[in-house]
Structure 1
Amino acid sequence: MNPLRHAARSLRREFLAGDLLTVFAALVLGVAVMTAVGTLVDRVTLALGASAAEAIGGDLGVRGREDPPAAFAEEAGRRGLRSARMVGFPSVLFHGDASQMATVKGVDAGYPLRGQLRVARDANGLAPEAARAPPPGQAYADPRILEALGATVGERIEFGSGHVRIARVLLAEPDASGGLMEMAPALIVNRADIDAAGLLGPGSRASYRLMFAGPGDAIADFRQWLRPQLDGGLRLVSIEDAQQGLRAAFDRAGRFLALAALLAVLLAGVATALAANRFALGRIDTVAVLRCLGARQRDILSALALQLLLLAIPACALGIGIGMLTQMALVEALGNLIPARLPLPQAAPMLSGAGIGLLLLLGFGLPPLLRLRGVPPMRVLNRSFSALPPASLLAYAAALAATVALAVYATGDLPLAAWVLGGLGALALLAAAAGTALLWGLRRVQRRLRGPWKLGLAALTRRRGLAVVQLVGLSLSLCALLLLAVIGPGLLGQWRDRLPADTPNHFLLNVQRDQAEAVDRTLRGLGVAEPDLQPFGTGRLLAINGRPPQHRQRDTDDDDDANRPVNFSWRHTFPPANALTAGRFWEPGSAAAEASVEEGWAQRYGLALGDTVTLQLGEQERSFTVTSLRKADWDSFRVNFFLLLNAGAVGDAPYNLISAFHLPSGRTALLAPLAREFPNVSVLEIDAILQRVREVIERVSQAVQLVMGFSLAAGVLVLLAALQATAGERRYDSAVLRTLGARHGQLRGAVLVEFGALGLLAAILAVAAAAIIGVVVSRQLFELALVPPWPALLAGGAGGVALSVLAGWSGSRRILRTPPALALRAFL
């Protein structure tokens, strides 16, 4: 016997029979989804690492609310490093009667140190060119500024107390950090113009940065020298900082994609195992005949294994091709959430995808074939057959572990895999236990039943092992389908609903106390119902429980948190867009020195109820006891603070006022008189940010729906494979019963009872598991408080029961059309 020739002939003959086609489809789906998601994650990771220095405008830097000392640049020059100074702040620009909020960035002659500053001579961006810092009196403006102001290149715009001339249109700046959440379009000017305009006085919201560039060894040595020189108000800027904004935006998208990919791989493995098990059972008689004809056992097993391997080669190739096409579609769907210049796809994700396919095949397809080693030649004359050997169970466990490990490696999200796969694993165990207990109970109940109920339940109890396997497969597939079709869109919808139509889209900063009444009156005149001007103070965090504060989750470049600046506010009542998680909030009339801390800030410093926080508030030093912890909804775009103090115990701490409010789109220009009357007040329009967040959600939704298509297809495969797992046995039972005089209606009713009972129990388990997994995953990984959508979940469970019954009814029609003699002959 030639195993390879026998395998090739058998594959051509049996490919379209059903079981091998299911295995083939499962392999294609598993390879495609892991290739697509793995390639996308790999390309984004490489792009982030390659563009990190360009995204911060240098190799190392110092940032803070104060201008870094000149001694830093002098020391860098002595070490052969180049340096550049930058300062950025929000400001309102004017051109005639038009106004526009802009992020003004002042740079010196050394800018940029890394990357290219790209400009053009007109707003169309034709003939782009690289440029250095603008000379004094000139500026590079984002096209949105020109459009909003109705200005053109060469015209002058009002800038602080003076004017600058628009010399070029700004196309790209190297230190834009991906541009994901820019507060306003950028205006780049010379640092000398900012100093002359008088915009950097007390109370300004300026952020200073001193960047350095040079050889890697020199940068590393300079970092060691620089770190001890920093006081509490200055921090190092490293290339890791450049990735935070993009990674934060890509993180939630990546987790949604990983959820769909992991479910697809797991379901593909279950479908492969069910189909391969049915394939192996169908080969029992063939193996027995071959053994009678003298074929060696190892040759028979080799031929069957080669048959699966020959099936895997085109499946992996097709899966990789589909995965690469899908990856291109994902890049298009995610758009500018990811870097514009992605590197070419690497071989590693494609090899990982192919590895997934081989693991699915060998791990889930090979164990059923191991059962055929025990088929004796006497099987031709009797129906004896060995049970599943222990080696097969070990192979299943090893395959599952290896598949999960490779899937986690490809998606890069261990916590998500642990929660989701752990939940599904618990569901499988629960389904097996529930199925065993149900069958034990049915054996005692069925004796008292009559007609189709007795026949249907008897069929379940007679094939207990296969019935439990079917129940586990049905439960997993239904749960995964509910996670994808109900929980996934629910999470995306809740993420989208966190930005209602009246979300605050404007901020007022640096409002002085004596301006509060006039500003409040102006805002109410514009239709703002509750301007809610809140105090905004900046002090120093001196101590926690009498000791210098230490950051528990320390960044590598943070040396000491003592004496560091901290922003805070105070109020009498509990703030909106917050939830109390521990302790109690002070009474409105209280004068006790109490503090309420946001739970993220509390974890950062290890704060607990009863701890004491010591602050420097202007010229005074005060201590406050932590009496409550809060969870702030940062996605609400309201004014939130890490640290809130009891207004009755603050005293005369210096402060200004801040407000967040909503104005209908297009009415921002009405704030121009306010900005002119109070030049110190900064008006931030964040409509662009809100639109960006909504765009992120929509793009993530499109990408996730694309990957979910693979997962849903894998779930359907599992469902069909599970429902067909006992088709052969039911055909034999039906033939025997028809020979004994059973009517078609009785047999059809028995099948409907059998599949209805399986489907109902699987639906109950799947709905409960999907709700629990969805709530846990949403809270632990997506930071969303998902309320299980019970109507949709119950409708999905009912659909699963209906599909189970429909599959049983459809299968019974084929069985009943087969003459009993032919059906019995196939089993003799």
Structure 2
Amino acid sequence: MNVVRHAARTLRREFMAGDLLTVFAALVLGVAAMTAVGTLVDRVTLALTASAAEVIGGDLGVQARAEPPAGFAEQARQRGLAIAHRVTFPSVLFHGESSLMATIKGVDGAHPLRGRLRVARDVAGLHAEDAGGPPAGEAYADPRLLAGLGVSIGDTIELGASHVRITRVLLSEPDASGGLMEMAPPLLVHRHDVAAAGLLGAGSRASYRLMFAGPPDAVDGMRQWLEPQLQPGQRLVGVEDAQQGLRAAFDRAGRFLALAALLAVLLAGVATALAANRFALHRIDTVAILRCLGARQRDILGSLALQLVLLAIPACALGIGLGMLAQVALVEALGNLVPARMPLPQATPMLAGAGIGLLILFGFGLPPLLRLRGVPPMRVLNRSFAALPATSLLAYVAALAATVALTVYATGDVQLAAWVLGGLAALAVIAAAAGAALLWLLGRVQARLRGAWRLGLAALTRRRGLAVVQLVGLSLSLCALLLLAVIGPGLLGQWRDRLPADTPNHFLLNVQRDQAQAVDQALRGLGVADPDLQPFGTGRLLAINGKPPQRAQVDEGDDGNDADRPVNFSWRHGFPPANTLLEGQYWDASSRADEASLEEGWARRYGMSIGDTLTLQLGEQERTFTVTSVRKADWDSFRVNFFVLLNAGAVGDAPYNLISSFHLPSGRTAALAPVARQFPNVSVLEIDAILERVREVIERVAQAVQLVMGFSLAAGVLVLLAALQATAGERRYDSAVLRTLGARHGQLRGAVLVEFGALGLLAAVLAVAAAALIGALVSRQLFELALAPPWVPLLAGGAGGVLLSLLAGWSGTRSILRTPPVLALRQG
């Protein structure tokens, strides 16, 4: 036989019959979802890497809490590298009676070494130009700073003990955080003006950075020379530190997208396996006839395999095309979450998408065809058929492992794949065990039943293997659909709810202790329900467990020694809001013991646990506190949170000022002007723009996820239909026999409804429970959200699955009843 001609002719004839069309659609959806997400992740990663040097303002740098040694700059000059100095610190600016907290950045004329510093002579930014660092006596100001102080270009503002004149509006600069987490607006000045202002004395919170730029070999050599020279408090700054705010935002977006893509690929594999199994069952008689006519086994299998290849080529091409269109839509949906200058799509994600398509096809579609090797020519006279060979089972396992590995490679999220796929694998095992146990039980009781109940349950027990496969497919597809349609939106909603309408949008800083009552009354007069002024102290971390503090988590180029490190802390009697107690016991309000409560990240950084001690310098006193609790702080709440909390009953007379966060309706910041005039030392920081930016991130991620979920939901529906039709041929043959024996239409329809109702109900129970469990674990472990299972939508989805199962059974009986018994018996 001519294998190629036979494969092409058979494929053309069988494509629209249903099974191969299902396989084709599953391939298209799986390849499209993976290509879209993989291409987007690849483009963003390349863009972030390519622009990293521009973002940090150089190729390499040294950051420290004090001015880096002059020898570092001299060594860089000897290697032919350009250098630039910069110092950054928070400070309050004044203009008349107005004051505003700002981020002061003192630079020299060489700044920036990489990237572009964009300024304008007008507030609207219509005449933008590139510039270097400002000359001495001049400053470039963020537009928010101009509005907050009520000044214009050409005005002079107070900077410590000196004055600077604003000559340009600062539009963009390297090393900016993109506006996402930079709370105070920046002011760019010359380093000489910073020195003249007298703001860099002892106790200042300044951060110094020495940047280098030059040929790659020289930069690498400088890095190797610097690493052994670094002292405590000094660390290297490289391209890996760039765009951290953007990376964090995209990481969460990427996890949502990866979840949708992962489920789409898995569902495509399940749909392919079910459809291919049905396709193989329908080919049994054809293979037997070909064997009777002298066709060789290898030619028959070659023809069937070639049909899969001919099917895969257009499916992968169409999937890649749809995936590329989808990733363009994803870039548009994510908007300014992704870099403005995105590189062109690379071939690797497309090849990975096509590779996943081929793995799905041959891994899940070929094993059922291997069973056809054992079809004897006598099949034309009897109903014999080979059992599933061990090689087919191994092929399934290998295909699943390879698909998971390639999916993890494309999405870059091992944890997500482990939790989701582990949960679904457990569901498949439980569904198979539950199905086998239920069928055994039904086999014991169905003989005592009558009518449609007996016929329907007998159909299940007679085809136990197929019924178990059908149940597993139904459970997986319904669980995946619930994860996508209920758990996914629930996670996004939980993320949105972390920023409710009354989220604090103002911070009040530097309130002195003798001003506390007056400031509290002033804020309550503006409608602030609970100003919650909290003490804010700065001390020195002297020891942990009696030894110099050493970080358990050490940055590259840093020895982790934090001896004499400044530490911000607070104290209170009651447990703080926006915190969750993880370990230990929080002190009683009346306690006077030397107790401390640590935030989990800070505790992990120093490897501390319950019972450890930390020694702090609080003003003139040196105190040792015992750790009695570990908390998780909700930093997204925009409430005032601290890494170190002390028992208020044991602090004594430590120096401090007060800080508060509160909510005012948008646009009412001007109402705080009397407070600023009455207390000129107090700084008011408005963060409405930051909150809007965070909300925009959430909304854009939600739009992108919904787009990818469309592919996954389509794949889930496809699996559901494939699972429901898995035994259509067998039911058609059984119904024909029963009709020949005199069964009525109502009895046959009732039997099918019982069969599908039992399958659908068991699958729904398993899927709802699994979706709730997987959703809770994934939300807590990966998204750091506390999602309570939304039982009402889950149960509604489970009921919908049962109804869909019953609808499929009812629809199937209509076609069966329209088929003459003689024809059905011949086809069986």
Return the alpha-carbon distance in structure 2 between the equivalents of residues 796 and 471 of structure 1.
17
Matching residue's letter, 2:753 = L
Question: Are residues 1:817 and 2:818 paired?
Answer: yes
What corresponds to 2:210 in structure 1? Answer: 210
* Partner SS, residue 295 of structure 1: coil
Return the alpha-carbon distance in structure 2 between the equivalents of residues 69 and 524 of structure 1.
50
Verify the 8 A CA contact 2:98 2:676 in the aligned structure 1: no
Question: Are residues 1:506 and 2:503 paired?
Answer: no
Question: Displacement, 1:561?
Answer: 2.7
What corresponds to 1:706 in structure 2? Answer: 707
Question: Displacement, 1:202?
Answer: 6.6
Matching residue's letter, 2:739 = R
What do residues 655-702 of structure 1 show as CA deviations (whole Å, max 9, x unaligned)?
A: 222211112111212333444554443322111111111111111111
Return the alpha-carbon distance in structure 2 between the equivalents of residues 764 and 388 of structure 1.
29
Question: Are residues 1:799 and 2:762 paired?
Answer: no
Question: Displacement, 1:136?
Answer: 2.8
- Counterparts of 1:412-431 in structure 2, within 5 Å, are 412-431=412-431
Return the alpha-carbon distance in structure 2 between the equivalents of residues 771 and 587 of structure 1.
37
**Residues 200 and 718 of structure 1: is their aligned pair in 2 closer, same or farther, counting only changes over 3 Å?**
same
Matching residue's letter, 1:257 = L
* Partner SS, residue 588 of structure 2: coil
Deviates further, 736-745 or 667-676: 667-676
Deviates further, 817-826 or 306-315: 817-826
Question: Are residues 1:54 and 2:86 paired?
Answer: no
State the TM-score, normalizing by the size of structure 2: 0.95
Deviates further, 656-665 or 92-101: 92-101
Question: Are residues 1:496 and 2:496 paired?
Answer: yes
**Residues 550 and 90 of structure 1: is their aligned pair in 2 closer, same or farther, counting only changes over 3 Å?**
closer
How large is the Cα RMSD of the aligned pairs?
A: 2.3
Verify the 8 A CA contact 1:101 1:685 in the aligned structure 2: no
Verify the 8 A CA contact 2:59 2:213 in the aligned structure 1: yes
* Partner SS, residue 499 of structure 1: coil
What corresponds to 2:618 in structure 1? Answer: 617
Return the alpha-carbon distance in structure 1 between the equivalents of residues 226 and 299 of structure 2.
71
Question: Are residues 1:386 and 2:386 paired?
Answer: yes
What corresponds to 2:275 in structure 1? Answer: 275
- Counterparts of 1:673-752 in structure 2, within 5 Å, are 673-752=674-753
Question: Are residues 1:305 and 2:302 paired?
Answer: no
Question: Displacement, 1:84?
Answer: 2.2
What corresponds to 1:541 in structure 2? Answer: 541
**Residues 469 and 93 of structure 1: is their aligned pair in 2 closer, same or farther, counting only changes over 3 Å?**
same
Question: Displacement, 1:216?
Answer: 4.0
* Partner SS, residue 22 of structure 1: helix
* Partner SS, residue 452 of structure 1: helix
Verify the 8 A CA contact 1:184 1:688 in the aligned structure 2: no
What corresponds to 2:458 in structure 1? Answer: 458
Question: Displacement, 1:824?
Answer: 1.1
Question: Displacement, 1:580?
Answer: 1.6
Return the alpha-carbon distance in structure 2 between the equivalents of residues 93 and 513 of structure 1.
22
What corresponds to 1:241 in structure 2? Answer: 241
Matching residue's letter, 1:467 = A
Return the alpha-carbon distance in structure 2 between the equivalents of residues 683 and 97 of structure 1.
13
* Partner SS, residue 639 of structure 1: coil
**Residues 332 and 400 of structure 1: is their aligned pair in 2 closer, same or farther, counting only changes over 3 Å?**
same
State the TM-score, normalizing by the size of structure 1: 0.95
What corresponds to 2:786 in structure 1? Answer: 785
Verify the 8 A CA contact 2:553 2:560 in the aligned structure 1: no
Verify the 8 A CA contact 2:233 2:558 in the aligned structure 1: no
Return the alpha-carbon distance in structure 2 between the equivalents of residues 503 and 246 of structure 1.
22
Question: Displacement, 1:650?
Answer: 2.0
* Partner SS, residue 423 of structure 1: helix
Verify the 8 A CA contact 1:92 1:683 in the aligned structure 2: no
Question: Displacement, 1:225?
Answer: 5.4
**Residues 628 and 770 of structure 1: is their aligned pair in 2 closer, same or farther, counting only changes over 3 Å?**
same
Verify the 8 A CA contact 2:232 2:558 in the aligned structure 1: no
Question: Displacement, 1:160?
Answer: 5.8
Question: Displacement, 1:724?
Answer: 0.2
Question: Displacement, 1:588?
Answer: 1.9
Q: How many residues align?
A: 827
* Partner SS, residue 114 of structure 2: coil
What do residues 727-769 of structure 1 show as CA deviations (whole Å, max 9, x unaligned)?
A: 0000001111111111100100000000000000000000000
Return the alpha-carbon distance in structure 2 between the equivalents of residues 624 and 145 of structure 1.
41
Deviates further, 519-528 or 793-802: 519-528
* Partner SS, residue 582 of structure 2: strand
Return the alpha-carbon distance in structure 2 between the equivalents of residues 219 and 467 of structure 1.
65
Question: Displacement, 1:508?
Answer: 2.0
Return the alpha-carbon distance in structure 2 between the equivalents of residues 490 and 172 of structure 1.
37
Deviates further, 539-548 or 142-151: 142-151
Question: Displacement, 1:636?
Answer: 1.1
Question: Are residues 1:523 and 2:523 paired?
Answer: yes
Matching residue's letter, 1:669 = A
Verify the 8 A CA contact 1:99 1:669 in the aligned structure 2: no
Matching residue's letter, 1:491 = L
Question: Displacement, 1:165?
Answer: 4.2
Verify the 8 A CA contact 1:137 1:164 in the aligned structure 2: yes
Q: Percent identity?
A: 82
Verify the 8 A CA contact 2:38 2:411 in the aligned structure 1: yes
Question: Are residues 1:592 and 2:586 paired?
Answer: no
Question: Displacement, 1:822?
Answer: 1.3
What corresponds to 1:257 in structure 2? Answer: 257
**Residues 356 and 445 of structure 1: is their aligned pair in 2 closer, same or farther, counting only changes over 3 Å?**
same
Verify the 8 A CA contact 2:288 2:376 in the aligned structure 1: yes
What corresponds to 1:775 in structure 2? Answer: 776
Verify the 8 A CA contact 1:100 1:148 in the aligned structure 2: yes
* Partner SS, residue 242 of structure 2: helix
Return the alpha-carbon distance in structure 2 between the equivalents of residues 89 and 545 of structure 1.
32
Matching residue's letter, 1:538 = T
Question: Are residues 1:37 and 2:37 paired?
Answer: yes
Return the alpha-carbon distance in structure 1 between the equivalents of residues 511 and 746 of structure 2.
82
**Residues 526 and 64 of structure 1: is their aligned pair in 2 closer, same or farther, counting only changes over 3 Å?**
farther
Verify the 8 A CA contact 2:367 2:393 in the aligned structure 1: yes
Matching residue's letter, 1:736 = V
* Partner SS, residue 334 of structure 1: helix
**Residues 517 and 110 of structure 1: is their aligned pair in 2 closer, same or farther, counting only changes over 3 Å?**
farther
Return the alpha-carbon distance in structure 2 between the equivalents of residues 338 and 234 of structure 1.
31
Matching residue's letter, 2:558 = D
Matching residue's letter, 1:613 = L
What corresponds to 2:182 in structure 1? Answer: 182
Matching residue's letter, 1:365 = G
Return the alpha-carbon distance in structure 2 between the equivalents of residues 294 and 584 of structure 1.
81
Return the alpha-carbon distance in structure 2 between the equivalents of residues 562 and 190 of structure 1.
30
Verify the 8 A CA contact 2:537 2:568 in the aligned structure 1: yes
**Residues 314 and 99 of structure 1: is their aligned pair in 2 closer, same or farther, counting only changes over 3 Å?**
farther
Deviates further, 756-765 or 621-630: 621-630
Return the alpha-carbon distance in structure 2 between the equivalents of residues 749 and 475 of structure 1.
23
Question: Displacement, 1:185?
Answer: 3.9
Deviates further, 132-141 or 288-297: 132-141
Return the alpha-carbon distance in structure 1 between the equivalents of residues 747 and 407 of structure 2.
47
What corresponds to 1:467 in structure 2? Answer: 467
Verify the 8 A CA contact 1:98 1:669 in the aligned structure 2: no
Question: Displacement, 1:86?
Answer: 2.4
Verify the 8 A CA contact 1:285 1:379 in the aligned structure 2: yes
What corresponds to 2:664 in structure 1? Answer: 663
* Partner SS, residue 368 of structure 2: helix
Return the alpha-carbon distance in structure 2 between the equivalents of residues 198 and 677 of structure 1.
25
Return the alpha-carbon distance in structure 1 between the equivalents of residues 151 and 298 of structure 2.
82
**Residues 628 and 33 of structure 1: is their aligned pair in 2 closer, same or farther, counting only changes over 3 Å?**
same
Return the alpha-carbon distance in structure 1 between the equivalents of residues 443 and 378 of structure 2.
32
Return the alpha-carbon distance in structure 1 between the equivalents of residues 724 and 73 of structure 2.
72
Return the alpha-carbon distance in structure 1 between the equivalents of residues 670 and 201 of structure 2.
26
What do residues 175-218 of structure 1 show as CA deviations (whole Å, max 9, x unaligned)?
A: 11444322144332333344445555676654443323334454
Question: Displacement, 1:542?
Answer: 2.3
What corresponds to 2:13 in structure 1? Answer: 13
What corresponds to 2:631 in structure 1? Answer: 630
Verify the 8 A CA contact 2:99 2:680 in the aligned structure 1: no
Matching residue's letter, 1:340 = A
Deviates further, 61-70 or 467-476: 61-70
- Counterparts of 1:23-102 in structure 2, within 5 Å, are 23-68=23-68, 70=70, 72-90=72-90, 102=102
**Residues 619 and 235 of structure 1: is their aligned pair in 2 closer, same or farther, counting only changes over 3 Å?**
farther
Return the alpha-carbon distance in structure 2 between the equivalents of residues 755 and 116 of structure 1.
66
